[in-house]
Amino acid sequence: MDSKLALYIVKRLLLAIFTVFLIITITFFVMKAIPGGPFLSEKSPSPEVTAALEAKYGLDKPVFEQYITYLKDLLRGDFGPSIKNRGRQVIDLIMEGFAVSAKNGLIAACLAIVIGLVLGALAAVFHDSWIDKTIMVLSTAFVAIPSFVVATLLLLIFCITFPIFPANGNVSGGLVLPIISLSLSPMSYITRLTRSSMLDVLGQDYIRTARAKGVSNTKVIFKHALKNAVTPVITYVGPMIAYILTGSLVVEKVFAVPGLGDFFFSSITNRDYPMVMGTTIFLATLMVIMTLLSDICYKIFDPRVDLS
């Protein structure tokens, strides 16, 4: 690694820490400003119980003091206990959910990238043919259709009408449909990105030169064209992976996958403050890391990029 790149990474890491700190601060105060609290329910606990709970979770202290305490705990790697799930640590809940979501997400991301690149390349190579048109129609459709529609449709078709797959992500073969649901939209987006970028690259002089020199079509496409066409895809793929690894609320609900997706939503509804912070910090950190990685990948794929 050259020193310039190392310096760049260090600078970016420092910036990332600052970004995450800002996110923590904003989330903490905004979260406390929303009306409602974690101990409200259709049946309210007695004032004594509420007071005991508030003391237990330190919510009886001034907000700023709570913030300082939270930061100190965080520095020690302590995300605190979940208020809703009594007796569970936020970090344990996140890690358990992440293990499931990340496995599905990783497969879905690979699928999206591999198939997206191949289909995009195919569409570009066979520009204006029926292949291109079919791919374009399908990818436009899947970019536009929201995931809850895709997931529900897949559930209806493959679990009820033709019961090929189980409707439960927790049993054998149960992850096939959630993975497909997760991957379709990013796959289509990558297809479209690759196609337009490939079309641009295929028109470049060096491709014409390569072809004139008798380089085989496959080599031209995969070695010369695709490698250069992939840069805009990288920009998209970084944050996409962060999102896809942390699970999708809709897809995980529809297919009963015990992942992380639900926590992002339910923690806010439940005003489970430590969980809101935990999920936010987790996603934010993953996001800055993925963005940093994609920027480094830029440099690898395109040495002309000046990282400074």
According to DSSP, the residues that pair with 89 across neighbouring strands are 81
Instruction: Report the alpha-carbon angle 243-248-254, nearest 5.
Output: 165
155 or 201, CB closer to another protein?
155
CB of 89 to another protein, least distance (A): 8
DSSP strands (E only) in 187-307: none
- Rounded to whole angstroms, how far apart are CA atoms 117 and 114? 5
The 3-state DSSP class for residue 89 equals strand
The secondary structure of the chain in percent helix, strand, coil, rounded to multiples of 5, reads 75, 0, 25
CB of 290 to another protein, least distance (A): 20
225 or 288, CB closer to another protein?
225
- Rounded to whole angstroms, how far apart are CA atoms 112 and 118? 10
199 or 289, CB closer to another protein?
199
3 or 41, CB closer to another protein?
41
- Rounded to whole angstroms, how far apart are CA atoms 258 and 239? 23
Helix (H) or strand (E) holding 54: helix 47-56
CB of 232 to another protein, least distance (A): 21
Cβ count near 260 (within 10 Å)? 27
CB of 280 to another protein, least distance (A): 17
DSSP strands (E only) in 75-120: none
168 or 291, CB closer to another protein?
168
CB of 41 to another protein, least distance (A): 7
92 or 302, CB closer to another protein?
92
Q: Is 296 within 8 Å of 5 (Cβ atoms)?
A: yes
CB of 238 to another protein, least distance (A): 21
199 or 256, CB closer to another protein?
256
Question: Which residues form the interface with another protein (CB under 8 A)?
Answer: 34-37, 40-53, 56, 81, 84-89, 93, 96-97, 100, 103-104, 107, 110-111, 114-115, 118, 152, 155-156, 159-160, 163, 166-168, 170-176, 179, 216-218, 221-222, 253-256, 258, 269-271
Sort 209 into a burial class: Cβ within 10 Å, 0-12 / 13-18 / 19+.
Answer: exposed
CB of 235 to another protein, least distance (A): 23
Q: Is 214 within 8 Å of 108 (Cβ atoms)?
A: no
